[in-house]
Amino acid sequence: MKHIKIHHLLAAGAIAVVTLLPSCKKYLDQQPITANDPAKVFNDVPGAYSALIGAYSRLMGDNGYGIRISLYFTVDNDEMQGPTGNGNDNDRRDIARYQCTPGNAQITNPFLQLFNGIENANMCIDYIPKMELYTNGTDQQKKQLQRMYGEALTLRAQFYFEAIRNWGDLPAHFTAAQNQALQDPFPTRTSSDSLYDRLLEDLKTAEDLVPWVNDLGAIGDSKDERITKGTVKGLRARIALFRGGYALRPASKTMERSTDYLKYYQIARDETYDIIQSGQHSLNPSFKSLWKDQVCAHAVSDPNNELLFQASASGSGSAEDSKLGYYNGPRVNGKGNSSINPLPTYFYLFDSMDLRRDVTIAPYFVAADGITKIGQAITAINDGKYRRDWVTNPSFDPNDAIQYLSLKWQLLRYADVLLMFAEAENEISNGPTANAYNALNWVRRRGFGKNINTVNAAVDVPAGLSKTDFFKYIVRERALELGGEGIRKFDLIRWNLLATALTETKANLLTMSTNTAIANPSYMAGYPAYCLTTILPKNMYYQTTATGDDHTIWANSYYNTAPSSTPAGTTKVNWLTAAINTTGLARFATGFTVNKSELLPIPQPAIDANKNLVQNPGY
C-alpha cells in the first residue's frame, strides 16, 4: 500500500546516520552509513552526534535549502521574481507564478524531505534522553548530550515551521515513525496553531539545554555552525510571530489571525530581547563583508556571531550540497541560471546611499576572464548575496562548469532578531518605544555604513511615529535588510499583506514601463522622493572594461536622465522601458488568487498515500 511506502521512506532517513570525514573541518562534511539498531547508534556521545548530524543534513540538498525550498518556494514577492520562460510548465515557473498544482513534481520531494528531517530529529529526541550517559555519564558527557537533545528539538521545529508556512495544517509527527505507524498510520491534519504551540513549548525546553555561542568551551564543544541558545531563542521568536500572524484557515477558507495574537508577540519580544541583552551576538560592521567575506568565502568563523542559524552544504552533489550562486546570482562566463530577478520597483526602494542595494542586487554578468563585468538591463539584474564571482576558499575557474558551490543558506541573522524585536515591541506597546527605535536604527545605520551607536538624522527613521507608521517602516526595512533571503513572501503572508503588495507592485511596474512616476505603497514606508519622478534613466551605459562589483560599473546615474548618445567606452542597455511590462510584469505572480495562493497544494502523492489527508483550499 502507498502509505506504507511513505512510512518506509521516512524511516529510511531515520536510520541513516553519519560519520565525520576525518580530513574535513566543517562539521557537516560527512558521508552516510546505515545503522539498523538505534541502541547501537545511541550508545555513546559520538554515536548520538552522528545521528544528530543526520538530522542536520536534511536541511540541505536539492530538495532542501540547497535550491528548491530556498529559491523555488520563496518567489514571487514585492522584492524578487522567479525565472523567465514560458509558464504552465508544471515545474518551478508555475510555483513562482502561483500556478502550482498538486501534481507539480517540484513540491513532492521537498515535502518528503522536510518530514524526513522531522523523523531524523524524532529519533534523536526519542533516544538521546534514554541513554545511560544522559543521566549517569560524566558532567561533560551529560552537557553535550543535553545540547544534542536541544538541537534535535530545534531542528524538528525548523523542519515543521518550514512545512507549515508552505502547506498550513499538517499531520502531527512527534514520535519516531515506527511508533507513529502503529499508533495512527493515517493521521489527519492538525491545525497550524496547535503545531506551532507544540513547537514553542519544545523550543522553550531546548533553550535551557543549549549553551550560548560563547559558552561552548565550558562543555568541551568547539564553535562551529551548530545550533546555540541564540538560534533557539531566535527561532522561537520567529515562530511566535507566525503563530500570532495571519494564516489561511481551511475551515473559513480565509486569512485570519487568532484573537490572542498579542500573547505570541510578547513571546517574540521577550526572546529577542534576551538575545540582545546577552551580548553574545552583534552586527558585522560591514554589510558587504558579511556576505562577501563570510558567506561567499565559506568562512566557518563568525567574529560577530551575526549568522545565528545556517544550513551548511557539502559533498558536491544533490543530496547535501547547494546550488546557491549557480541557480541564482550573476552568471560567470555564461555559466549559471540567474533565475532570481530583483524587481525594478524593489531596486528603487533603496536610498541612493544605502550600501545594501549593491550587495542585495548584482546588475551584471561576469565575462570569460572572471573579472570584467557586463551590465544587464533592469529586467535581467540578479540577486546578489550569493554570487559565484565572490566565492572563495575555494574559488572556481570561470571555465569550470561546477553547479554545487557549497554555499550555506542563511536561516537566521542577528539583524532579523533586531527587526523582530522592534516589530513586537511596537505591537505590544501600542507604539514604538525607545528600544524599538534603537533596534531598527542599528540595522539602518549599518546598512548605510555608519556607526550603529551614533544617532544619524540622515539615516534614522523619523521620531514621533504612530504605531501604524512605525510598522510601515518595519515592513520596508525588512525588505531592504533581508531581501533575497527567502523571508519576504512569508512576512507578507503573516501580515496579510501579500495580495496588497502584489497588486500595488504590478501597478508600479506598469507605470515604470511607461515612463510615468511610480506611487508610494500603502502598506509600507515609501520610496526616496527622488525616485518618484519621470527623470529616471531609460537607458544605462556600462563601462566595457569595468571590473567593480557595484554601481561603479556604470557611466551614468541611476537617478538622472540618461545621456542622449552612448558615451565613449560604454555599452547601452535598456533600463526603464516597455520591457518592464513585456519581460517582467508579464510573468509576475500571474496566477495569484486570494485565499488560495498563500499556501502550496499538498503534493498529490501524499494525498494518495493517506486517505485522511485533505487538500488545501482552492486546489
Taking the C-alpha atoms of residue 120 and residue 513, their distance in angstroms, rounded to an integer, is 50
In a domain, 434, yes or no: no
129, 563, 572 from 513: Cα distances, Å:
61, 19, 18
Report the pLDDT value the prediction gives residue 558, as an integer from 0 to 100.
98
pLDDT per residue as tens digits for the range 66-101: 999 999 999 999 999 999 998 789 999 999 999 999
Q: Going by DSSP bridges, is the β-strand pair 373-375/364-366 parallel, antiparallel, or unpaired?
A: antiparallel
Domains in the chain: how many in total? 1
Give Cα 276 distance to the centre of its chain. Answer: 21
**Residue 193: partners with Cβ closer than 8 Å, 6 or more residues away:** 243, 258
In a domain, 258, yes or no: yes
The candidate with the shortest Cα–Cα distance to 269, out of 157, 411, 418, 150, is 418
Report the pLDDT value the prediction gives residue 430, as an integer from 0 to 100.
98
In a domain, 455, yes or no: no
Taking the C-alpha atoms of residue 275 and residue 418, their distance in angstroms, rounded to an integer, is 9
Helix (H) or strand (E) holding 20, with range, is: strand 16-20
H helices within 78-183, ranges in order? 92-96, 105-127, 132-136, 139-167, 177-183
Report the pLDDT value the prediction gives residue 30, as an integer from 0 to 100.
36
The secondary structure of residue 429, as a DSSP letter, is T
Report the pLDDT value the prediction gives residue 213, as an integer from 0 to 100.
98
CATH number, domain of 161, equals: 1.25.40.390
Q: Going by DSSP bridges, is the β-strand pair 539-543/570-574 parallel, antiparallel, or unpaired?
A: antiparallel
In a domain, 454, yes or no: no
The candidate with the shortest Cα–Cα distance to 306, out of 481, 533, 138, is 481
In a domain, 330, yes or no: no
In a domain, 563, yes or no: no
Q: What are the residue ranges in the chain where pLDDT is below 70?
A: 1-36
Report the pLDDT value the prediction gives residue 4, as an integer from 0 to 100.
28
Question: How many helices (H) and strands (E) in the chain?
Answer: 21, 14
Domain span at residue 257 reads 2-311+595-609
Taking the C-alpha atoms of residue 599 and residue 164, their distance in angstroms, rounded to an integer, is 9
Taking the C-alpha atoms of residue 273 and residue 427, their distance in angstroms, rounded to an integer, is 14
H helices within 250-295, ranges in order? 261-278, 287-289
Beta-carbon count within 10 A of 129 CB? 14
As a whole number of angstroms, the longest Cα–Cα distance in the chain is 80
Report the pLDDT value the prediction gives residue 36, as an integer from 0 to 100.
53
Report the pLDDT value the prediction gives residue 13, as an integer from 0 to 100.
34
**Residue 323: partners with Cβ closer than 8 Å, 6 or more residues away:** 62, 66, 67, 403, 404, 405
Q: If DSSP codes are grouped into helix, strand and coil, which group holds residue 426? A: helix
Report the pLDDT value the prediction gives residue 178, as an integer from 0 to 100.
85
Taking the C-alpha atoms of residue 480 and residue 39, their distance in angstroms, rounded to an integer, is 49
Q: Is the peptide bond before 394 cis (omega within 30 degrees of 0)?
A: yes
Report the pLDDT value the prediction gives residue 86, as an integer from 0 to 100.
80
Report the pLDDT value the prediction gives residue 609, as an integer from 0 to 100.
95
pLDDT per residue as tens digits for the range 235-283: 999 999 999 999 999 999 999 999 999 999 999 999 999 999 999 999 9
Taking the C-alpha atoms of residue 493 and residue 192, their distance in angstroms, rounded to an integer, is 14
pTM reported for the whole predicted model: 0.94
In a domain, 504, yes or no: no
In a domain, 136, yes or no: yes
Q: Radius of gyration over alpha carbons of the chain, in Å?
A: 24
